Amino acid sequence: MRREIGSEFWRSPLIESDNDLFPTCTQWYLSGRSALKAIIAELVGVKTISLPSWCCDSMIKPFADVGIEVRFYPVYWQKGLFKEIELGSDALLIMDYFGYTTPIPGLCNYDGIVIRDVTHSIISATYSDADYYFGSLRKWCGVWTGGYAWTKDEHTLEMGEADKSAYVSLRSQAMKMKRQYIEEGLGDKEYLKTFDDAEDCLESVDIAPAADRDVELMKRLDVEMIKSNRRKNAEVLRVAFSDWLIFPTLSSTDTPMYVPVLVPDGKRDALRSHLINNEIYCPVHWPTSDYHKLTEQEKYIYDNELSLVCDQRYTEEDMMRIVETIKSFIEEK
């Protein structure tokens, strides 16, 4: 077994029975983006939407592509993470971050359409505050596809039939290559290019269903194992880097996707390179794009955030390796 930490998944922990993670009215899509597009197809008459300023451009582009004006409400760091919800748009998109439950101030006063991205919170919380729910499991486990959506009143969303074969083929091939590399020591890191090719392919696929294999997998995901391992792993990192935490509190129901930190003194990128040199791959959330319209205050998170890996593939010993690698960087600097 190779000692690489992070990057794409290649397996999923499963149980024999249904995990009851998803409502019975859930529809299964190629990706979270595909699921979001199915929701957008219903937003007839919606001219404006408010999105959090801290978000991925894949959440922005689907609205822009159909001519919906995207407005950003401020999400920023000021000795804590703050959200200032703007209530003047026809629709509002809300989300938690990385499995940490956070309040949405002013939501009870909003009478427009509410869309909740539950990608980060699907294992941590159950919500009833939105008209539409959507997300993806790709950041939690090894699925080829992994998108899902449901509606508050349980009506059926559009399900397209866009050609997904090239994407699914590339994802499945990449996961197989990574499994062989990690578990059997075969090949080199060619799987990285295959994963990238799959992402490029996804850009051109519209609304499409999930792979049948993934639908069954998502229903049988071992949620309790994921919760337990991630919480134990996260605790090691949270204790070691308590002064860097974006979310100082982990509630009893939270299941961390990552342990997001703010690296001080403008050293995020240098630290990330140091980790990569030690085969530890911690992502940044998120790269900015031409779609983002950010103030300097909002941009601070983008410039300094690093997501420390804590998922179920790894042990507390692996977490100590991350801690020691980061501390060696700090001591050298």
CATH number of the domain enclosing 93: 3.40.640.10
- 238 with 115, same domain: the answer is no
- 184 with 270, same domain: the answer is no
- 26 with 145, same domain: the answer is yes
The dihedral formed by the CA atoms of 26, 197, 166 and 291, expressed in degrees to the nearest 10: 50
- 34 with 144, same domain: the answer is yes
Q: State the DSSP string of 119-155.
A: TTTTTT----S-SEEEEESTTTS--SS-EEEEETT-P
Assess if residue 1 is contained within a domain: no
- 144 with 181, same domain: the answer is no
The owner of tokens 């002064």 is: 243
Please give the Cα distance from 63 to 2 (Å, whole number). Answer: 41
Assess if residue 147 is contained within a domain: yes
Show which of 116, 151, 186 is a domain's final residue: 151
Measure Cα distances from 264 to 98, 221, 291, 301, 303 in Å. 20, 37, 27, 11, 10
Assess if residue 121 is contained within a domain: yes
State pLDDT tens for residues 321-333. Answer: 999 999 999 998 6
| pLDDT at residue 333 in the model | 67
| pLDDT at residue 157 in the model | 98
What is the sign, positive or negative, of the torsion defined by CA atoms of 190, 194, 196, 200? positive
- 21 with 141, same domain: the answer is yes
State pLDDT tens for residues 62-73. Answer: 999 999 999 999
Assess if residue 142 is contained within a domain: yes
> 315: which 2 tokens?
């042990």
DSSP H or E stretch at residue 217: helix 212-219
Assess if residue 87 is contained within a domain: yes
- 298 with 241, same domain: the answer is yes
Q: Which residues of the chain have pLDDT under 70?
A: 333
Please give the Cα distance from 83 to 174 (Å, whole number). Answer: 37
Go through 218-232 and write b for each residue having 16 or more CB atoms within 10 A of its CB, e for each that does not.
bbbbbbeebbebbbe
Range of the domain at 200: 165-204
> 186: which 2 tokens?
């075969």
CATH of the domain at 271: 3.90.1150.10
- 231 with 305, same domain: the answer is yes
Considering its fold, how many domains does the chain have in total?
3
> 215: which 2 tokens?
């639908």
| pLDDT at residue 108 in the model | 84
| pLDDT at residue 87 in the model | 84
The pTM score is 0.96
- 186 with 305, same domain: the answer is no
Please give the Cα distance from 157 to 195 (Å, whole number). Answer: 29
| pLDDT at residue 217 in the model | 96
